[in-house]
Amino acid sequence: MLDAIIENGNYYMVVVVRLILACFLGGLIGYERESTNRPAGFRTHILVCVGAALIMIAAENISQKYAGVTNIDPTRLGAQVISGIGFLGAGTIIREGVNVRGLTTAASLWTVSCVGIAAGAGFYSGAVIATAIIYITLMLLKRTEKRIAKKNRLSLFRIRTGNMPGQISTIGCIFSKYNVTIKNIEFLNDAEEKEIHIKYFVRVPGSVSLEKIMDELQELEGVKDVSQE
């Protein structure tokens, strides 16, 4: 309906409205990412959203220009945006030990490209409603996500210890004492130093102090070094 009203005046106004709307909606989501110091922030989200909108406008014009001459699917360019934005999103993902950062930002970049496609195609209600849902998810559900994360934390313990009989079992008993769940164990034997390097990938309850576990592990006979990530 909005396009029909604008088109009575000037088609260029349709293009302007779609691009400005994409800029505003992308900027709204980008502002939230920028406020939390994420890799892709305000300007990045605006550029992605406006670019996606422009692609859909261009696809619409191309299909109209060559209508009757050849069969052109105006959605093909938009489909390429959805698949191609994954490369940009992948650049925001950072792994720190067992923790991965940037997944939410990568997801927001992908969804903001979808918002841009909707705005560029003239599906204004869908673009606005989706933006509202995305913004609420990023802003209001962050606290809920943090509460869940605090209950169960993934951690990586690196332990360097002498190659002593029963040492693995002793270390496992300490983790069991604090209700720590061992997800995976990796071993590396150092024959020259007569010691072993062990990586414990564990899930630690939020109520348990990591420092307390480390101190108790460090006090074990034969343990030479303990670090946690």
Find the DSSP H helices in 66-193: 76-90, 103-120, 124-140, 142-151, 167-177
Give the pLDDT confidence of 65-100 residue by residue, as tens digits. Answer: 767 676 777 777 787 887 777 777 777 776 655 556
Query: Would you say the pTM of this structure is higher than 0.75?
Result: no
- 3-class SS letters over 35-68: HCCCCCCHHHHHHHHHHHHHHHHHHHHHHHHCCC
Report d(CA 87, CA 101) in Å as an integer: 16
Secondary structure class of 191 (helix, strand, coil): coil
Report d(CA 212, CA 204) in Å as an integer: 12
Q: Please give the single-letter amino acid code of residue 121.
A: A
Q: Are 78 and 51 in contact (CB under 8 A)?
A: no
In this prediction, residue 221 carries a pLDDT of: 82
Q: How does residue 5 score in pLDDT terms, banded at 50, 70 and 90?
A: very low
What are φ and ψ of residue 163, in 5° steps?
A: -80, 85
Share of the chain above pLDDT 70, in %: 81
- DSSP string over 153-181: EEEEEEEEEE--TTHHHHHHHHHHHTTPE
Higher pLDDT, 8 or 187: 187
Higher pLDDT, 123 or 11: 123
Share of the chain above pLDDT 90, in %: 0
In this prediction, residue 146 carries a pLDDT of: 65
Give the pLDDT confidence of 131-166 residue by residue, as tens digits. Answer: 888 888 887 777 766 666 666 677 788 888 887 777
Domain-wise residue ranges, the chain: 2-140, 151-228
Higher pLDDT, 45 or 68: 45
The Cα angle at residue 187 between residues 183 and 191, in degrees rounded to 5: 170
| Mean pLDDT, rounded, for 8-33 | 82
Among 3.40.640.10, 3.60.20.10, 3.30.110.40, 3.30.70.260, name the CATH number for the domain at 151-228. Answer: 3.30.70.260
